Amino acid sequence: MAHVSIYLNFMGNAEEAFNYYKKVFKTEFSAPIMRMKDIPAQPGMPELSEADKNKVMHVALPILGGTEIMATDMLESMGHKLIEGNTITISLNPDTKEEADHLYKELSQAGTDGVAPHDEFWGYWGTCKDKFGIRWMFNVSSQPLN
Listing DSSP states for 55-74 in one string gives SEEEEEEE-STT-EEEEEE-
pLDDT at 24: 97
Q: Give the start-to-end residue ranges of the domains of the chain.
A: 1-75, 86-146
Mean pLDDT of 132-136: 90
pTM attached to this predicted model: 0.78
HSE of 139, CA atoms in CB hemisphere, 13 A: 9
- Pick from 101, 110, 99: nearest CA to 134: 110
pLDDT above 80: residue 144: no
Lowest mean pLDDT among 2-6, 25-29, 90-94, 133-137: 2-6
Whether 99 and 138 have beta carbons less than 8 Å apart is answered as no
Sheet holding 112-119, edge to edge: 89-92, 135-141, 123-129, 112-119
Q: Is 97 helix (H, G, I), strand (E, B) or coil?
A: helix
The helix (run of H) or strand (run of E) holding residue 114 is: strand 112-119
Choose the CATH number for 86-146 among 3.40.50.300, 3.40.1190.10, 3.60.40.10, 3.30.720.110.
Answer: 3.30.720.110
Whether the pLDDT of residue 19 is over 70: the answer is: yes
Residue 136 has pLDDT above 90, yes or no: yes
Query: In CATH, which of 3.10.180.10, 3.40.50.720, 3.40.50.300, 2.40.50.100 is domain 1-75?
Result: 3.10.180.10
Mean pLDDT in residue range 40-61: 90
Minimum mean pLDDT among 16-30, 81-95, 125-139: which range? Answer: 81-95
Domains 1-75 and 86-146 in one fold: no
Q: Quote the pLDDT of residue 143.
A: 59
Structure confidence by residue, pLDDT tens digits, 80-125:
888 877 668 898 989 999 999 999 999 999 998 889 999 988 899 9
pLDDT of residue 82: 83
